[in-house]
Amino acid sequence: MAVLRSPCYLISDTHLGVASPDVERAMLGFLRSLPGRAESLLINGDLFDFWYEWKTVIPRSGFRVLAALADLRDAGVEVMMVAGNHDCWGGDVLRNDVGIDYRFGPWTGSVAGWHTRVEHGDGLRQHEDRRYRMLRRVLRNPLAIRAFRWLPADFGSSLASNSSHASRSYRARDGGAGLRQLAMEALQRSPELDMLVYGHSHVPSVERAPGGGVYANAGSWLDEPTYLVVTDERVELRRWSGSAEGDRLHTLDRRTKESLGQS
């Protein structure tokens, strides 16, 4: 089983490229504060509003954040990224040049000792996301990805950015209720999970399901600079305030199977 060591910091949905300069500066400050505090960092998708790796070119936006992530790896902090719907075309640059463990979700492993499934959350709602699921099959088709490489980088970046405006410009219209319901149902079906992490809705959350598992969502830095911190004992929702300690918004202590009366 893959392991992300404690304490593990989690972020999602920064959308670099359309995020304001203030958001990017805050993210840089956050990343630079992690050495000596974090053992691992998990990015649950949409770090970039658009990411694609041409043979010799990458998008310009967010390059300072990429450098900060490379510095984190050099400092011994493990960095994993689960692809979102805006940055699902990653490859050698993220993996080899930056050193990120870049994956397509869902990913299941140990996060600070919690048996956890992590998924960005796009396309999961049965009815609301039906049309998007059809589009996603095209966008992630290897032939479509290779064909996109033939477009000039400036034109391709502009085309992708304009077409993705609607999915980044607001929180989920249902206030995150759809993903929350799916998470609660999934935790009940999978009692072996300690935690289920989604992003995508831009709605931060730390909530215990009836069976004892935890649903967590780090929210979006487009709205408020929130993140999660997971240790062996607890999971916390925090807000960046100039320090990796941040403002603690909500905390749930871990409940073992023994305390729940399970075998």
What residues does each domain of the chain span?
Answer: 3-253
> Which amino acid is present at 62?
G
Residue 71, token pair as written in the block: 């510095």
CA–CA dist 209, 184 (Å, integer)? 6
**Burial bucket for residue 240 (CB in 10 Å: 0-12, 13-18, 19+):** buried
Nearest to 214 by CA among 193, 239, 190: 193
Q: Could you tell me the CA-to-CA distances from 158 to 6, 49, 161, 162, 206 in Å, in that order? A: 39, 11, 5, 6, 36
pLDDT at 167: 47
With left for phi above 0 and alpha for psi between -120 and 50, is residue 3 left, alpha or beta?
A: beta
CA–CA dist 44, 115 (Å, integer)? 16
The answer to whether 101 and 120 have CB atoms below 8 angstroms apart is no
Q: Each residue's pLDDT tens digit in the chain (263 positions)?
A: 688 999 999 999 999 988 999 999 999 999 999 999 999 999 998 898 877 777 777 777 788 999 999 999 999 999 999 988 776 677 788 899 999 999 987 999 999 999 999 998 775 655 555 565 555 565 666 676 666 566 656 555 665 565 554 444 455 667 788 889 889 999 999 999 999 999 988 999 999 998 889 999 999 999 899 999 999 999 999 999 998 789 999 999 987 544 444 43
Q: Could you tell me the CA-to-CA distances from 17 to 49, 99, 215, 225 in Å, in that order? A: 6, 21, 29, 16
Among the four given CATH numbers 3.20.20.370, 2.40.50.140, 1.20.990.10, 3.60.21.10, the one describing domain 3-253:
3.60.21.10
Name the CA radius of gyration of the chain, rounded. 18
CA 178 centroid distance within chain: 18
Beta bridge partners of 247: 239
pLDDT at 154: 55
CA–CA dist 157, 155 (Å, integer)? 6
The side-by-side arrangement of strands in the sheet containing 234-239 is 101-103, 78-82, 40-44, 8-11, 226-230, 234-239, 247-253
**In the block, residue with structure tokens 């479509």:** 144
pLDDT at 139: 63
Identify each DSSP E strand in 17-144 by its residue range: 40-44, 78-82, 101-103, 107-111, 114-118
The side-by-side arrangement of strands in the sheet containing 205-208 is 3-4, 107-111, 114-118, 195-198, 214-217, 205-208
CA atoms within 13 A on the CB side of 167: 25
pLDDT at 239: 97
